[in-house]
Copies of this chain bind each other. A is one copy, B any other.
Amino acid sequence: MNDSALTPERILAAAEEVLRRYGPGKATVVDVAQALGVSHGSVYRHFASKVALRDAVLRGWLERVMAPLDAIATSRTAPPARLRQWLTALRDIKRNKVLGEPELFATYSALAADAREVVGEHVEHLLGQIETIVAAGVKSGDFRKVDAQATALAIFDATSRFHYPGMAHLWNTPGEDAAFAQLLDLLLAGLTPTTAPPRRRKSAS
């Protein structure tokens, strides 16, 4: 069954497959070992515990699935549009997962539910991206002179209704898109400078 040496990568891939197939409640490390054609003891040479293995799978998934956000966060789009784009993308990623592959989403939500550490890092990463956009907006004059870090957190919190997995049960009710759009408008309005119109970084083409 096994082709090459037993590496963390191969274990990770097998674990992911097993988790997909059986779900987080049923997947055992014996299953993973079996899928690799090795004894379950061997798995423990590469991962300290089942929790460590699950964490690693979750980490990989989060990285893969959230990749599009990195690109948006550092794009050259004007900050207001970029923030909209980024928040919309975050929402869409989760929403599409929920609606498109509910079981898979449930699986990863379950993993996330008892992986404080990993989720914490992930959230920090996202907050950093929002902060980048906000800071860019403040610098360009598109946004008020807010504390970028604190404001990033406020934005993240304000939108959690639309991206926190525990809220997923609300994501396919009618009016959902409109509600999100309204919230975005309100937040963007809250970032707009009150007095002078923002100076543009570049003249419009």
Q: Is the CB of A151 within 8 A of B192?
A: no
Q: Is A187 located at the chain interface by the 8 A CB criterion?
A: yes
Given known pairs A144-B189, A160-B161, the reply for A154 and B167 (CB within 8 Å) is no
CB distance from A44 to the nearest CB of B (A): 31
Q: Is the CB of B157 within 8 A of A161?
A: yes
Tell me if A's interface is mostly helix, strand, loop or mixed.
helix
Q: Is A183 located at the chain interface by the 8 A CB criterion?
A: yes
Report chain B residues within 8 Å CB of A187: 158, 186, 190
Q: Is the CB of B162 within 8 A of A179?
A: no
Q: Is A155 located at the chain interface by the 8 A CB criterion?
A: yes
Closest B residue to A113 by beta carbon equals B169
Residues from 84 to 136 in A contacting B, C-beta threshold 8 Å: none
Residues of A in contact (CB 8 Å), total 29
Per-position 1/0 for A134-158, Cβ under 8 A of B: 0000000000101000110111011
Report chain B residues within 8 Å CB of A8: none
Given known pairs A158-B158, A161-B157, the reply for A151 and B182 (CB within 8 Å) is yes
Q: How far is the CA of A157 from the CA of B186 in the complex (A)?
A: 11
Q: How far is the CA of A151 from the CA of B194 in the complex (A)?
A: 19
Per-position 1/0 for A25-38, Cβ under 8 A of B: 00000000000000
Q: Is A1 located at the chain interface by the 8 A CB criterion?
A: no
Closest B residue to A192 by beta carbon equals B194
> Which are the 5 A-B pairs with shortest beta-carbon distances?
A190-B190, A189-B190, A158-B158, A154-B182, A186-B190
The residues of A with any CB-CB pair to B shorter than 8 Å are 144, 146, 150-151, 153-155, 157-162, 164, 166-167, 178-179, 182-183, 185-192, 194
Known: A157-B161, A160-B167, A186-B191. 16 other contacts (CB 8 A): A144-B189, A146-B186, A150-B178, A151-B186, A154-B185, A154-B186, A157-B158, A157-B179, A158-B159, A158-B183, A160-B160, A164-B167, A166-B166, A186-B187, A187-B190, A194-B194
